[in-house]
Structure 1
């Protein structure tokens, strides 16, 4: 019998002598199981290409794993960067709060020190003026700032009561600017006279001395603002007293220095007189019309109410 598998002639044997296949089966011969080499040879070309592509795609899957991990790492880094940025914002906000709190505390300390300074100076201004130094220059500037603001407030309240137009500019900003110019001009004149006299002095101490003597002017302006409601005549008189104190303070600061120690070109009496005339001229040119208008208002029946 011929073997259906390998075509070997076996005679009457039940099994093939070459491949060992069963020769007694009358059914359709089983499909031979090819080995891997024959299967690869008999496999169609497109099947081999498809299996190759599938194998390569399966092999490429692990190679993509590092890229996925890289993306995850980048996401983690970006998240960490955002966390650091938010932490930096929080720290900067905390620092700003600390700085603001320190500024508030410093402002409170300055206000407390100025209040105690103000009360001590008010009792004996001239005696205190002789003992101040550079450390009191800030108090002097604060006193001058108060004088400028209170003067402007006085004019603002007065003009608002008579119904004047342009209250903020004409009633507040202009008097504020004029008073600042008068005070700075007074300091500049004292500085110039002491330089002419060749006297050694410290500019900060000069400001502290001048500001110390201006403390009564602050009190006079506070009372002037309060008396506007009661009587214009008393209010305008207190306003005039506050500006007279500026002239008195200028002279007191200058004459407490040993003037005319050297042969100057002009006598100290005349130099101080010139300084007073200059300050008076500036005061008249800047605030003369306003003050004269207020005096006329004081003499009117409405002002005597």
Structure 2
């Protein structure tokens, strides 16, 4: 038992071993004190437990509140909205890409159309200026006019094929697109390319320095009157066959004239060549005439054979 005076621990003695105080009265009176102390400590413990539990509940209250009810719903709604928005935006994005691709294709097509119009305007200006003075224009053209020369040769081949197609179409022939348009187109192109190649060969044989692009530009410039003649020939088919075919023959005569003019534009026989210039010019004319005869004759024969085949069998 503990002495209330000196706080000395005693056993079961009635008096304190140190100070001699009576421990019986203290023991009797100490029970209420001890009970009060224990009551106070218990209440303090309960209060501390209540305070600590309140603190813990206060400290842990926000997280369950955030995690249980409020937080997941907005985040889930937000994620769901994001998924839906992405699902809705994907087709819109594809649609935008498709429309952008279509716009780009339209832009490219429009740009090509504009370029074609610009080239057509430039060629028309070139055509009209050359038509008035073809020989003078031939002497002043340069390498930049080589494209105009190729366009002129292409027009010559197309107009020849159109003339043949219209002529035999009016005669009632059927299935003549290949033999009446494509074959004359190919043969006319071969004739013009052969003419340029023959000029090139003669100038090389004569050992004359020249530029191939200028050669093409000069030859194409001299073919401009032949283009105008072929246009008239296509228009005159409706009025008169005889006049139209005369214009066609005249346009091919101009091919020979253009070839020889370009040849004599250069100083032939400037050096000692293997062959005289007179014979070289005659040879290239003979070769071109033979090609023209064979190609055009085969074209006309191929078109006339279906028309006169019944008479041939008789």
Q: Is the shorter-chain TM-score for this pair beyond 0.5, marking a shared fold? A: yes
Pair 127,148 (structure 1): closer, same or farther in 2 beyond 3 Å: same
Q: How far is the alpha carbon of 1:68 from its aligned partner?
A: 6.4
Runs (5+) with no aligned partner, structure 2? 1-66, 304-314
Deviations 1:57-101 (A, max 9, x none): x96997798666545433333433333332222222222222222
Indicate yes or no: 2:278 matched with 1:277. Answer: no
Pair 78,199 (structure 1): closer, same or farther in 2 beyond 3 Å: farther
Q: Which structure is higher in helix share?
A: 2
For 1:195 and 1:74, locate their aligned partners in 2 and report how far apart those are by CA, in whole Å.
Answer: 76
Q: How far is the alpha carbon of 1:132 from its aligned partner?
A: 0.8
Computed over aligned residues only, the root mean square deviation of the Cα atoms, in angstroms, reads: 2.7
Q: Say which of 180, 188, 193 aligns to 1:171.
A: 180
Normalized against structure 2, the TM-score is what?
A: 0.68
Pair 93,292 (structure 1): closer, same or farther in 2 beyond 3 Å: closer
Indicate yes or no: 2:226 matched with 1:217. Answer: yes
For 1:201 and 1:79, locate their aligned partners in 2 and report how far apart those are by CA, in whole Å.
Answer: 67
Q: What is the SS of the residue equivalent to 2:140? A: coil
Indicate yes or no: 2:270 matched with 1:254. Answer: no
Indicate yes or no: 2:213 matched with 1:204. Answer: yes
Runs (5+) with no aligned partner, structure 1? 1-57, 295-305
Q: How far is the alpha carbon of 1:266 from its aligned partner?
A: 1.9
Alignment correspondent of 1:149: 158
Q: Say which of 98, 104, 127 aligns to 1:89.
A: 98
Alignment correspondent of 1:75: 84
Alignment correspondent of 1:266: 275
Deviations 1:178-223 (A, max 9, x none): 1111111111222222223333322222111111100111111112
Q: What is the SS of the residue equivalent to 1:130? A: helix
For 1:269 and 1:291, locate their aligned partners in 2 and report how far apart those are by CA, in whole Å.
Answer: 33
For 1:112 and 1:249, locate their aligned partners in 2 and report how far apart those are by CA, in whole Å.
Answer: 25
How does 1:1-305 map onto structure 2 within 5 Å?
69-289=78-298
The total of aligned residue pairs comes to 239
For 2:82 and 2:193, locate their aligned partners in 1 and report how far apart those are by CA, in whole Å.
Answer: 66
**Contact 2:141/2:214 (CA < 8 Å) preserved in 1?**
yes
Structure with greater Cα Rg: 2
